[in-house]
Amino acid sequence: MHKINQLFQKDLKVINMGLESFYKDLKEQDVAVIHMNWRPRAGGNPKMIDLLNRLKSNK
């Protein structure tokens, strides 16, 4: 069975990354959801992100 069709048969369990209002709306509907305290990697500094990516690919 297609994986999307497997999703259709399960209860929705959501990770919310970004706007908190989407999390609150789901919570209000009793949907299993967690909200991430997401923030840009390396403080959003493009140079640092590039360095981290290089470290990752050198692993």
Q: What is the contact surface with another protein in residues (CB under 8 A)?
A: 1-5, 7-8, 10-29, 31-32, 34-41, 43-45
List all residues 6 or more positions away from 55 whose beta carbon is below 8 Å from its beta carbon.
none
Q: Which is nearer to another protein, 39 or 58 (CB)?
A: 39
Two structure tokens written together for 11: 């209860």
For another protein, the closer of residues 56 and 58 by Cβ is: 56
Token pair 């999390």: residue: 23
State the minimum distance, in angstroms, from the CB of residue 54 to another protein. 14
Least distance to another protein, CB of residue 30, Å: 10
Closest CA to 34 of 52, 13, 49, 19: 13
